[in-house]
Chain A
């Protein structure tokens, strides 16, 4: 089982010649097989962020409400009432392609652990999904497995899945994206960190037993796929949501005491990364005795124990005098509890097994001398700004609207949401589809959280900097559209092979755009995850920097949804120039995916949003929806479909073409429903915010300015058709 350690094996483990030489220099000898395993996973792209670290440093991470930014298991922000929201998003892209159900399920499980390991009770899950073309024969199987996996895990652990997004594009045919986000709530004075301390303190293993699953998962996630990816199935872990539920309850019960010195989940690279990170952050040493690790299988080697990514496991450092009390809690929950080591003052990780020392590595160089690359970058060439007058309006308003609302990217996602328990916990104020952001109330309080995930990958491909900026701005906008005060984001950077300069150029530009938006909107990044090498057979995905946004409402009852109520004025907030480049209309109606994407003016974004939020909180705005994919007409159709209430629309301004006005995707815009448009527009004028009346709500039809009329009921039917017709039939 153990093999000779040399450069060839190192390469097989994902270390290049230079990296292997660095291992030799640090060790002063040839490393053991187990030691090489430890170095290779700790220095994998997945664990070390070696290609992305230099760029990530550019992101703003501070604000008065930020308690812990990137570097901990998840980000922590103060939300008032002595409470903190703890949240993060993480990808499980590679496993979800190989084995969709387990890949997605364990993605949910992993991100839950990142959040409750810090002391938070998870209160909401979201997930941002990107799939290949529905016409691709593999896509249906991936969608089915991923949706079942997310539901199977989330529903069982009892954390409501309240939001997220789904896009389709052929660029994801061989590489779907599964980005899972968890949000939890903890008391401000009960936040747990991972830095180990206390010479002689016991190191405790709790949770599931360790098996051989997921060995080298982190390495797999750091390489491209080829035609033989099926062979990598054994690197995918298997989830057990029941054990996760027990682990949540047991950990929270223990966290109510003063027993825990440090705690960290075993995620990517399992016992290796948790032990190395805990000891490394604490500046101490750690000694592990693998004979005491609960094992699911016999005959496992030290290498397998250290690299297993078996799920539902945690590592803790406890106060020695609280060990018995802690053991009683885990025994009550029928979970393994085993002392597997102790904290030392050697600054080394020492791994013993069956009387032998299998690894003995100095921690400082393992962490500090991890490779760091400033890889070459090439800027994405700018695309031409399209002139709407030169783009044919082939279908007219009515037919184009019907085509858009029925297309895979805009079709109702109810088929998906209806498989996720969105109400468990009893605090879900705005369920999926009801509002631009999900709203979850805090137990026993008025306060609520608003949550969203956003990214428009086709914008990012055309212009990664504008796309990165837009993703952050849209998250901020969606939180604003329910009335929430946006606080912070988590980011999930999904890109192709960083060794290709054009891909690294996309990454660097997206970060620049995101940083500018975070700065301008006071919307810092507090946690995140980078997933590179999203390529199959040399084909990369669209650059997809997904933003998970979190905002707060002092009173959750003030949240508004998108659904129209009858007899209100529909008003457009924000300026419309008729930007058709990269619009969904251009793609779905004209079959074109070109042009520069709509730019975001961050000062305008802020002014428009602050105005809308204030008017929501004053009670004037009864419904609000941001204008995004598909433009104004799709937005109003979505508002109508949400409640079944129609609207009659007025003519568009004469200085702009109809198709550009109704389907353009200019940014920083909202549709709002208000009782009195005149007074609303006066207030907007006073605030320097563009606003114009678009029509009046009421009745059961959507009446377009060209005289076309569609019943909301038929819109709903056409909007609902795609998913069931595709997924619930046997044709593929």
Chain B
């Protein structure tokens, strides 16, 4: 699997993500500027965190309309893999590639701390190096991570088993049903708020995020 990182102006965790991907994939990922449209040769599109276009409009709303997004939609339609983390998750919901929306944290404050995520299903290309029901540590760093969808949508994604991760320790941002990450219907697109890419080296606290990237590299 060949990964590429999409860089919108204002994205700021692309270096963290490139480092994590390189650790697992053994080579540096291609960096894709948001005005590029050629994704040929890329199997895994990664949209990292940050503040695309400053997030001065709704988070991710501007990026979801960038030139590269048409190619990302086509990539999704072909059954390609996409990982969106934090602002990346917000962009994927704004683009309609994942259900729901991310609202301001219930506290109305930015939240930066570790959290525990519970793995809801371990039979996807993203999660198969975790065990179902296990918890792992990830870094939260967001102002708008409060997952929201109407009840019918929430019932549907739970019914179809599309919840990827739930907050296992404390639901600090107010997310509906403790949801921290969701899959697309074909389970080839994953969006999640916390950052697995910042915990791939024990020196930074632990390497709990590494199995996610290892699993992708092995696919």
Contact = CB atoms under 8 A, between A and B. Distances in A.
Interface of A: 148, 151-152, 155-158, 240-243, 245-246, 332-334, 417-429, 441, 443, 556-557, 728
B112 A419 contact: yes
B141 A424 contact: yes
Interface string B185-207: 00000000001011011011000
A245 B87 CA distance: 15
A137 to B, nearest CB: 22
Nearest to B9: A246
Contact of B54 (A241, A418, A420, A422): A241
Interface in B100-143: 107, 109-113, 139, 141, 143
A413 to B, nearest CB: 13
Nearest to A728: B107
Task: Give me the 3 closest cross-chain CB pairs, A-B, nearest first.
Answer: A158-B12, A242-B54, A426-B16
B29 to A, nearest CB: 14
A556 B203 contact: yes
A192 B204 CA distance: 31
Contacts of B33: 332
B15 A425 contact: yes
Nearest to A121: B15
Contact of A246 (B10, B20, B110): B10
Contacts of B16: 424-426
A484 to B, nearest CB: 15
Contacts of B10: 156, 242, 245-246
A418 B51 CA distance: 18
Interface in B168-219: 195, 197-198, 200-201, 203-204
A447 to B, nearest CB: 12
Contacts of B50: 158
Given A418-B113, A428-B204, A242 B19 contact: no
Contacts of A424: 12-13, 16, 49, 141, 198
B25 interface: no
B148 interface: no
A426 B20 contact: yes
26 contacts: A151-B110, A155-B51, A156-B12, A158-B50, A242-B51, A242-B55, A243-B54, A245-B10, A334-B9, A417-B112, A418-B111, A418-B112, A419-B111, A420-B110, A420-B112, A422-B112, A423-B198, A424-B49, A426-B15, A426-B16, A426-B198, A426-B204, A429-B204, A441-B203, A557-B203, A728-B107
Contact of A158 (B13, B107, B198): B13
Nearest to A420: B112
Nearest to B111: A418
A426 B56 contact: no
Interface string B48-91: 01110111100000000000000000000000000000000000
B34 to A, nearest CB: 11
A245 B12 contact: yes
A242 to B, nearest CB: 3
Contacts of B203: 429, 441, 556-557
Contacts of A423: 112, 139, 141, 195, 198, 204
Contacts of B56: 242
B8 to A, nearest CB: 11
B199 to A, nearest CB: 8
Given A242-B53, A423-B139, A155 B19 contact: no
A213 B204 CA distance: 41
A141 to B, nearest CB: 15
B111 A333 contact: no
Given A423-B141, A424-B141, A157 B12 contact: yes
Interface in B26-56: 33, 49-51, 53-56
A246 B8 CA distance: 10
Given A417-B112, A419-B109, A421-B110, A156 B15 contact: no
A423 B201 CA distance: 13
A420 B49 CA distance: 15
Contacts of A157: 12
A426 B141 CA distance: 12
Interface in B138-176: 139, 141, 143
A441 B195 CA distance: 19
Given A158-B50, A426-B15, 18 more contacts: A148-B109, A151-B110, A156-B12, A156-B54, A158-B51, A242-B9, A242-B55, A245-B12, A246-B9, A417-B112, A419-B110, A422-B112, A426-B20, A426-B204, A427-B204, A428-B204, A443-B19, A728-B107
Contact of B51 (A241, A332, A334, A422): A241
B110 to A, nearest CB: 5
Given A240-B54, A421-B110, A426 B197 contact: yes
B204 A155 contact: no
A246 B200 CA distance: 27
B127 to A, nearest CB: 21
Contacts of A333: 9
A157 B195 CA distance: 17
A631 to B, nearest CB: 29
B141 A421 contact: yes
A87 B16 CA distance: 22
Contact of A155 (B15, B107, B110, B195): B110
A46 B67 CA distance: 46
A158 B204 CA distance: 17
B89 to A, nearest CB: 16
A155 B143 contact: yes
A249 to B, nearest CB: 8
Contacts of A426: 13, 15-16, 19-20, 197-198, 200-201, 204
A156 B203 CA distance: 25
A337 to B, nearest CB: 15
Nearest to B141: A421
**Central interface residue in A151, A332, A426, by most chain B CB within 10 Å:** A426
A351 B198 CA distance: 49
Nearest to A157: B12
A333 B15 CA distance: 18
Contacts of A557: 203
**Central interface residue in A148, A333, A418, by most chain B CB within 10 Å:** A418
A637 to B, nearest CB: 22
Contacts of B12: 156-158, 245, 424
Nearest to B22: A444
B195 to A, nearest CB: 7
Contacts of B9: 242, 245-246, 333-334
A305 B197 CA distance: 44
B23 to A, nearest CB: 10
A50 to B, nearest CB: 39
Contacts of A148: 109
Contacts of B113: 418
Nearest to A333: B9
Nearest to A155: B110
A74 B188 CA distance: 47
Contacts of B15: 425-426, 443
B18 to A, nearest CB: 9
Given A333-B9, A441-B203, A156 B19 contact: no
A546 to B, nearest CB: 24
Contacts of A156: 10, 12, 51, 54-55
A171 B12 CA distance: 39
